[in-house]
Structure 1
């Protein structure tokens, strides 16, 4: 069963169980996937669906930060629950230690020794962590590692 089919099936189950919040989140995910399919003119494979879901999680994390800054705890909790539901459909996220190990091996491979080599390191690290780590976090870690 593809990831898209799994989301569709879980959405149906949430509707049957009258879990309106979960159904709403999955419906938003389905809409984002459908939008990308319409834009690209073809059906998305699992990797592309993961990219769409990652983008949706990223948007919600940004919203979460803004709600926390604005002391809107009610909205922050709601967005946090949305993130948790979406994360169920993404691959297991890498820990900072795992990311650091990938960065270390990339730095050794490239022979990087300054921040000027960040592009070379990121070119190796990015495909290895794609969909399993936040790009912003990875970029910050590479920067720290090269300083």
Structure 2
């Protein structure tokens, strides 16, 4: 089942269950996907948003909500921080299992070997290989410095 179908099905289930919080978050996901669809229409070859694009959108949404929750906590708005965290939980249901730190290190080593990287100049190629294989499974903001350390 593709990502859009899973999200649409979950949206219908949330409507039937009258789960307002879940419904709201799923509608936000749908809106983000539709925005990307509209942006892709300018490209005549585009067939809409792929599952990899959806994974990227969901990963970005999770990152944004983590940042918002942190900002709300610093501002003393704990109820809003909690709302952001609950949205993260709903969004993460559609993402593949996140790699732990040891798995990320193994993936980085494998990507460096695959690309044949030997200097910091190859960092872009290593990151591209990781993104091709692990989109939605790792935080590339955290993995980037790891790659840099290995190549530097």
TM-score, length-scaled by structure 2: 0.83
Distance 2:52 2:131 in 1: 15
1:98-109 map, 5 Å: 98-109=103-114
1:52 offset after TM fit, Å?
Answer: 1.6
Deviation string, structure 1 residues 78-101 (Cα, Å, up to 9, x no partner): 101100100000111111111101
Decide which moves more: 34-43 or 118-127: 118-127
Gap change, CA 1:141 and 1:46, over 3 Å in 2? same
CA-based RMSD of the aligned residues comes to 2.0
Q: Which consecutive residues of structure 1, in runs of 5 or more, have no partner in the other structure?
A: none
1:55 corresponds to 2:60: yes
Distance 1:51 1:96 in 2: 20
Deviation string, structure 1 residues 39-94 (Cα, Å, up to 9, x no partner): 11242222222122122112112212212222221111110110010000011111
Distance 2:102 2:67 in 1: 24
Aligned residues: 146
Match of 2:50 in 1: 45
Distance 1:73 1:143 in 2: 36
Gap change, CA 1:82 and 1:144, over 3 Å in 2? same
Match of 2:35 in 1: 35
Match of 2:44 in 1: none
Q: Which consecutive residues of structure 2, in runs of 5 or more, have no partner in the other structure?
A: 42-46
Distance 2:61 2:67 in 1: 10
1:80 corresponds to 2:118: no
* Structure 2 SS opposite 1:91: coil
TM-score, length-scaled by structure 1: 0.86
